[in-house]
Amino acid sequence: MGNEGNRFMMSALDINNLSISNKFSLPSACYAVGLLVIVITMSIFYHSYRVNSELIIDLTEQKNILSKFRASVAGIDQDLVRLVYLYNQGREESVLANVETLAPMLVDFKALADKHDFINDRSLAEEIEPSIEELRKISLEIVGLNLDNMVASARDLYKYSFLVRAGQILNFADESLYGKSDQVMAIGLKIKQQEVIFIGSFMVEFIMIFIMIYILHHHMAKKLVDPIQQLQMATHTIVDHYSSQNTHQKYEDFFQRAIAILESITSRDEIGILTANFKAMIATIERATHDNISANKHLAKANTELISTQGQLVQSAKLASIGEISAGLAHELNQPLGAIMLSAQFATELMNEEAIDKESVSKKLQRIVAQVERASKIIQHLKVFSRKGEHTFEEVDINWVIEESFILVNETLKMNGIKLIVELAEKLPPVTCDFIQIEQVLTNLVTNARDALEQGQAKEMVVRSYAQKNAICIDVQDNGCGMSAAVIAKIFDPFFTTKAVGKGTGLGMSISYGIMQDHRGELRVSSIEGQGSCFTISLPIPVEKRQHTNI
């Protein structure tokens, strides 16, 4: 996999300009269009409903006008009959008033016809105008007549000409009314049909929009979720590899599988960027893993070497410490040997006497045996101490370890004129440790204290054991030369020594420190230059022992 293809893309995401949000623009547009369509449908319906309602109102109004028209004509007729035949004077004003209402009513009628472009009404109303004018003329004429001297036939003629005009006007009213009721009913029906159409189209639009938006959303979600799922899979592949410690499969296979999954993501939005970055990350992880593995191999090798070297070192240090106490050891061994020598000489002399005092000889021999046992014990301990190799952790009494270690170092302290004060706390809980290693540490500390006391006057060394918090501690304290802060700072460094060349390896303290760390314990030092030092080792008390001891 090429690094070029996996370049990491760092870009600040502008919340107002996200490719991913652009994906939502289509569904959003759909919402908007859907809303618009529904609003348009509703407004069309409302508009048409309003227009139709207005139409019905105006048609009704027209019918009312025409009814009034007829009423007016009938009123004139009645008045004229009374006027002409019954000499009912005083009807003139009523006739004139009624006559003058016709033209304004026609104007109203025409206005409504024009408003809705009722094409026939307007034309018919225009046609009737001359008849209305004729009616008016005749009515005025009759009203102005001197009826007293008029013969009946003349009256009939006037009345007849009025009736003809009135008939024409009533006929106009009939013709104009023609079809109006049908029209109103048709509009009513149309409104009902429109309602059905509206509800139908509204439902259809709603369902269509719903389906469209659902499909778009589904599509969108798929477009968004699919790459995320792929990403998840790729992540899983990598995580699986690390979590399962699946060592029999090559890590390259996992990476290649993850990359293959990522390659299948074609998104060009922020997820696309995320994927590219993810690829870059995987490439980086792979490189790091590769480096790690080779480094780990080196490290493992070095570690193995280190472990064996450390073992050798510990052994060397142990042997070196034996070397350091060898004078004391030699003296320690020499004493039983001297005693054996003397006892053997006494026994030989007793054997040469006449009367062999068997009891005395036996005492000497017993003393020899005792001394041999003593030497043998030392040698035996030395053997154990210097044994190389496997050490085992076991539960021991720390005071016993301290006493054991003094078998080897006791003599060297005596030789150097050091007064040893041992203060062992009683009833200490047992600790789990490799006692030979702890003994090595103690031997090392005691040897160091001995050396620190070399120039001293009242040479005193205190070794005490005690429990502190959750640990068992051993102090090795001297009143020797002490150490400066600079020395303390380096005391645990390997190859650091204040002793003369050839006298110390410089490894004792650092190895002791390592041993204590192996025991999850501590090695501390406090020292005042010119007054002495105190080294403390502490070993943790196993958790299960803590409750019992209650220290």
Partner 1 sequence: MWIETLKRRSWILILFLPMCVACSENNSPAQLVNIFGSKGSGEGQFKYVEDFAFDGQGHVLITDALNANVQVFDLDGRYVTEFAGTGDKNQHLKKPEGIAIDASGNIHVADYLTGYIQKYSPGYEHLLTYSGFGPEPGHTLETEFMTFHPNGNLYVPEAGNSRISVFDAHGNFQFNFSHKGSKAGELLRPEAVKHNSKGLLYVADLGNHRIQVFDEGGTFLFTWGKEGKAPGEFRKPSGLAIDKDDNIYVAEIGNNRIQKFTEKGKFLYTFGKNGREPGEFGNIHGLAISPMGELYVADTANHRVQVFNVK
Residues making contact with partner 1 (CB under 8 A): 117, 119-120, 122-124, 126-127, 129-131, 134, 160-161, 164, 167-168, 171, 175, 178-179
Integer Cα distance of 108 and 112 in angstroms = 6
Beta carbon nearer to partner 1, 132 or 282: 132
Q: Please identify, using beta-carbon distances, which residue of 116 and 217 lies nearer to partner 1.
A: 116
Q: Which two tokens stand for residue 492?
A: 């645990």
Q: Decide whether 122 or 257 has the Cβ nearer to partner 1.
A: 122
> Minimal distance in Å, beta carbon 167 to partner 1?
7
Q: Which helix (H) or strand (E) holds 420?
A: strand 419-424
Q: Which is nearer to partner 1, 113 or 317 (CB)?
A: 113
Q: Give the nearest distance from C-beta 134 to partner 1 in angstroms.
A: 7
**Shortest distance, position 244 Cβ to partner 1, whole Å:** 54
Q: Token pair of 532, please?
A: 């002495």
> What gap in Å lies between CA 439 and CA 431, rounded to an integer?
14
- 114 versus 395: smaller Cβ distance to partner 1: 114
**Class of residue 57 by CB neighbours under 10 A (exposed 0-12, middle 13-18, buried 19+):** exposed
**CA distances to 2, 27, 31, 37, 488 from 210, in Å:** 47, 11, 9, 13, 82
CB nearer partner 1, residue 134 or residue 397: 134
- Nearest distance from residue 123's CB to partner 1, in Å? 4
Which H, E and C letters describe 488-538, residue by residue? HHHCCCCCCCCCCCCCCCCCHHHHHHHHHHHCCCEEEEEEECCCEEEEEEE
How far apart are CB 161 and partner 1 at their closest, in Å? 8
Smallest distance, Å, CB 126 to partner 1?
6
Give which of 257, 256, 275 is closest to 265, Cα–Cα: 275
The residue among 482, 487, 483, 491 whose CA lies nearest residue 523 is 491
CB atoms within 10 A of CB 536: 19
Q: Nearer to partner 1 by C-beta: 116 or 391?
A: 116
Best CA proximity match to 372, nearest among 343, 336, 396: 336
CB of 50 to partner 1, least distance (A): 22
Radius of gyration of the chain (CA): 64
